[in-house]
Amino acid sequence: MKICVIGTGYVGLVTGACLAQMGHQVVCTDVDEEKISKLCHGLMPIYEPGLDEIVTKNRKRMNLEFSTNIEAGVKASELIFICVGTPSDENGAADLSSVKKVAKKIGRAINSYKIIVNKSTVPVGSIRLVSDLIRENASDFYNFDVVSNPEFLREGTAVSDFFKPDRIIIGSTNEKASAVMEELYRPLKAPVLITDPESSEMTKYASNAFLATKISFINEIARICEKIGADVKEVAKGMGYDKRIGPEFLEAGAGWGGSCLPKDSKALVKMAEEHNCNFSLLEGAVRINEEQQKYVTSKVEKLVGELRGKRIGIMGLSFKPNTDDVRDSPAIAIIEKIKAKGAKVKVYDPVAEENFKKILTDVEYCDDAYQVTEGSNALLFLTAWEEFKNLDFPKIKELIEFPAIIDARNCLDPGALKEMGFLYEGIGR
């Protein structure tokens, strides 16, 4: 099929490249000229394992193009994917301005029957808004269908998530559009749920809210574990064997961040409020997540005492491993808190430094973990990068000013570190 993807961020680029890999003719479009120019020159604007390879391969096969000409892309395609951002507005609700702009553009460009697939996370009812804007801006009466098709990709594993999804959700009241979408995804052999657009849109919010709540739950359990002498890793393992609970998303740590869980949780709280419903459980999960960042900071103080005048080395800036994304990364709030208490901060991340520099400049950026360690009074691990698990800790012991390690992702071996003479603090252990 001929497909146009509008919005070439994490979701749009992965979706476009993977659809091209499935054999479709795809044009990925974006208003960001610099991003499109990079992609046209074979440069990746984001770090996502496996993506570079399929982009390169499909550009060579001539079934993946990049363009800033959104209207031409729409005109030439049968399926249009909307993959633009819906960040939080000042009240925590989803900001739909990009989605609205795109809908108007599609309306102005529409020249034949098209299926418009919305992948952006939008409040329930937005499919109608998109339909209305397309119709109002169209130059003539063209038939079209707007379908909700939320994405469940995780950054860092987005390519494999695309090809092996747990489920595909299609929200549409039109049988023809649903059938086309079902056919599109048939090769992935995943369960497909065809439902109404409202339920589809809500499924996305409810899923992210549930995941956020699950992590906040285990983070609170972790705090109790510390008080009573239990190990949260063992507790999570024991819980995870229960099929009704499942082992995933039970890792206690520095809290959840990223471009989705924080914004979608706040948007769902807001949506509930607007409909006179009270989502106190999710409000609690958000509050616990904010507290977790203070909790991590207090762990540093527990080991090194007053932070004023101390040097704290930070390992990991991205909101999770295998991504260079730092949006709403717990590292931002935690570093700000440490700095506000008067400490100097040195940081290292294998890939996220450039993105982090756009947010925080007054920290010392280091080229590797050992440079961060030199002269530090403590090392605080905020992202569970594989590289950190294999560090030369005896060398670190020699370089560090004071042998304190705060493992806010429970990714290190406490027994081995303590044996080497480190003071160790994990989360809930």
Q: Which is nearer to ligand UGA, 203 or 376 (CB)?
A: 203
Which residues, numbered 202-221, are part of the site for ligand UGA (CB under 6 A)? 208, 211, 215
Binding mask 105-124 for ligand UGA (x = CB under 6 A): ----------------x---
How far apart are alpha carbons 323 and 157 in whole angstroms? Answer: 9
Element (H, E) at 391: none
Those residues whose C-beta lies under 8 Å from the C-beta of residue 89, and which sit 6 or more positions away, are 95
Using CB under 6 A as the binding rule, whether residue 422 contacts ligand UGA is answered as: no
- What is the amino acid identity at position 70? I
**Interface with ligand UGA (CB under 6 A), residue from 109, 250, 378, 405:** 250
Element (H, E) at 80: strand 79-82
260 flagged as catalytic:
yes
| H-helix or E-strand spanning residue 283 | helix 280-304
Helix ranges (DSSP H) in 64-152: 70-76, 97-109, 126-137
135, 154, 357, 397: residue in contact with ligand UGA (rule CB under 6 A): 154
Distance CA 231, CA 233 (A): 5
**Interacting positions 34-53 with ligand UGA (CB under 6 A):** none
> For ligand UGA, which is the closer residue by CB, 10 or 424?
10
Calpha distance 412→423 (Å, rounded): 13
Choosing from 319, 388, 393, 422, the residue that interacts with ligand UGA (CB under 6 A) is 319
> How many residues lie near ligand UGA (CB under 6 A)?
20
Give the number of other CB atoms < 10 A from CB of residue 2: 15
At 171 the three-state DSSP class reads strand
Phi, psi for 167 (deg, rounded to 5):
-160, 160
Residue span binding ligand UGA (CB under 6 A) among the ranges 136-144, 257-265, 293-301, 370-378: 257-265
Q: Are 380 and 300 in contact (CB under 8 A)?
A: yes
Of residues 30, 145, 251, 425, which one binds ligand UGA by CB under 6 A? 251
- The distance of closest approach from Cβ of residue 33 to ligand UGA in the complex, given in angstroms and rounded to an integer, is 25
Q: Which of 80, 96, 109, 261 binds ligand UGA (CB under 6 A)?
A: 261
Closest CB 262 distance from ligand UGA, rounded Å:
9
Interface with ligand UGA (CB under 6 A), residue from 47, 162, 205, 256: 256
168 binds ligand UGA (CB under 6 A): no
Residue 320 touches ligand UGA, criterion: CB under 6 A: yes
In the complex, the smallest distance separating the C-beta of residue 257 from ligand UGA, rounded to whole angstroms, is 4
Least Å from the CB of residue 374 to ligand UGA? 27
How far apart are the C-alpha atoms of 403 and 420, rounded to whole Å? 9
Contact at 8 Å (CB) between 170 and 161? no
**Cβ closest to ligand UGA, residue 109 vs residue 347:** 347
Alpha helix ranges (H) inside 241-373: 261-274, 280-304, 330-340, 353-357, 369-373
Nearest to 98 by CA among 121, 131, 79, 77: 121
Tell me which of 4, 18, 260, 366 is the catalytic residue: 260
Beta bridge partners of 67: 29
Which residue ranges make up the site for ligand UGA (CB under 6 A)?
121, 151-155, 208, 211, 215, 249-251, 253, 256-258, 260-261, 319-320
Which residues belong to the active site? 260
